[in-house]
Amino acid sequence: MGNVLIIGKGNLYTSVISSNSFRTRAFDVLSYKQYFKSLYNTENGNRRIDNQIEMEKELLVYNKVYIISDSINEGFELITFFSKLGTRKIIVATQCSRDYQLYKKLGAKLVYISKPGSSSYSWLTNHL
């Protein structure tokens, strides 16, 4: 598909990608679970360099990445990964407002604070 990727995990991510307005748009979608399995050796949990190189090659095509995660650790890991990869625009959607500055410092261009049912959530699902 295009050069936009949606990656994430949790209630907000699941809600956004299953919304009717989202399904009509052309994005590539990758769950954090798929990302994690591709990057790590599941037998011992160690990161494999060959897996990381392959993952980086596959994800280099994306100019814009939306990270939607309920977990601060996974959100930070994904921002760090895509920042190092040189992704031009990283947008984060989170339910936790206290992490806004940290996401920005790690490389997020925009940070949306959103919860299912809120006006920011409606905007997010309609404008992705």
pLDDT tens for 87-102 read 999 999 888 888 899 9
Topology (CATH) of 4-127: Rossmann fold (3.40.50)
pLDDT value of position 83: 94
Better-scored residue on pLDDT, 102 or 127:
102
pLDDT tens for 57-92 read 889 999 999 999 888 888 899 999 999 999 999 999
Which residues, other chains included, contact 99 with Cβ-Cβ below 8 Å and sequence gap of 6+? 72, 75
What pTM did the predictor assign? 0.82
pLDDT band at 50 (very low <50, low <70, confident <90, very high): confident
Give the number of other Cβ atoms within 10 Å of residue 79's Cβ.
24
Distances (CA, A) of 13 to 42, 73, 85, 86, 97: 24, 15, 22, 23, 16
Alpha-carbon distance of 108 to 19, in angstroms, equals: 24
